[in-house]
Amino acid sequence: MPYAQIAGWGMHVPSRIVPNESFVKMGLNTSDEWIASRTGIEERRLAARNEPTSHMAVRAAQHALYVADAHASDVDLIIVATCTPDHVMPSTASIVQNRLGARRAGALDMNAACSGFVYALAMGAGQIESGRAKQVLVIGADELSIHLNWRDRTTCVLFGDGAGAVLLRATVDPGILASTMGSDGSGADLLMIPGGGSRHPANGNGRANGDRYLRMNGPQIFRWATQMMSRAAEDVIATSGLKPEQIDLFIPHQANLRIIEAMAKRLGLPADKVFSNVGRYGNTSAASIPIALCEALAAGRIDKDDNIVLTSFGAGLSWAALALRWGVNMDLHPSRWTPWRQGFETRVAAMRSAVRRQQRRVRASLDERFRGDQN
């Protein structure tokens, strides 16, 4: 049975930095000290209007392919974990697949909110382990800023936008060791965006009849998340056959520094084994863990053969954890031709899409004229 190993990784965050002081200037009854002391967040990135989820996902994916020295055309499957897709349909993954030029790849979106990336990583690994795929691109990307009420200080200060991606590749050496996923739908109302779905569909003006803003019961989410991330981590460590002391780095979902510290205390983890960057980006939902993974790698916190545990929680209520053994030497030297090749593939993909759209217009025009002649 083949194993799934991470061969490439990449991240993208918007250029706009919003520090805590910005909320004070907006007139919110808050302060830098109030936000930082309760969340650990000092700043976050917010996407521009012309920067949809698919744009961030493509940028992160391109870097992951570059690191892996891989062709987009060789990818078998693209999974985009997001709860803020470009459209209700088609899937954001299909848009990403087209822009990358991954013409052989299947594409699908998966929504498990903040747990989405770990869910998608486990699903991608399963495709490789079953022999149905050799290379799977897994992307976590979210733009929750579009669903924030900027007058609600309990939610708008918490979230940021971004994307992270990894390329999974079939190998003979162990990579993804174990995973666990779960959900408790009885808590679905504790963290949700009510409007826009079939329960509260858009009206004739294109606006949701229900509330389009994110709602969260902070105290209950805090208590539940601390317990579930710890339990999920313990479960996946036991399933993987490892012992807690053999774990070299924990990368939890970056939602709140107090949750991360409470989880670490519950598991008895020293600070040097827990990675956090929530202070710089806030909660980027499904992008949180892949962005943290990329930054941990850049900071030299991960070496070949290290054992890593990813653990997450999110709306649903959902949770997931995954244990992996890092199999990549960090002295990577991608080909200098890779950026040129990626640029060429992107341009070819754009030309192919334009040609196909034009062909459809021509066919539609001919069909309409043919029907008119028959009548």
- Convert the pLDDT of each residue in 288-317 to its tens digit: 999 999 999 999 999 999 999 999 999 999
- Domain spanning 3-325, CATH architecture: 3-Layer(aba) Sandwich (3.40)
Strands (E), 103-197: 106-110, 135-143, 161-171, 176-183, 191-192
Cα Rg, the chain, nearest whole Å: 21
Quote the CA–CA distance of 231 and 181 in Å, as a whole number.
Answer: 11
Could you tell me which residues come within 8 angstroms of residue 256 by beta carbon, excluding any fewer than 6 positions away? 38, 39, 40, 41, 158, 222, 278, 283
Q: Give the pTM.
A: 0.91
* pLDDT value at residue 34: 94
**Residues in the chain with pLDDT < 50?**
none
Residues tagged active-site:
114, 253, 283
Instruction: For strands 318-325 and 176-183, give the pairing.
Output: antiparallel
Instruction: Report the percent of the chain where pLDDT is more than 90.
Output: 81
* pLDDT value at residue 206: 55
- Convert the pLDDT of each residue in 111-143 to its tens digit: 999 999 999 999 999 999 999 999 999 999 999
* pLDDT value at residue 179: 97
CA atoms 65, 93, 157, 283: torsion sign: negative
Instruction: Provide DSSP, 341-375.
Output: HHHHHHHHHHHHHHHHHHHHHHHHHHHHHHHHHH-
Mean pLDDT over all residues of the chain? 92
Domain boundaries, the chain: 3-325, 335-375
* pLDDT value at residue 336: 72
- Convert the pLDDT of each residue in 161-203 to its tens digit: 999 999 999 999 999 999 999 999 999 999 999 988 888 776 6
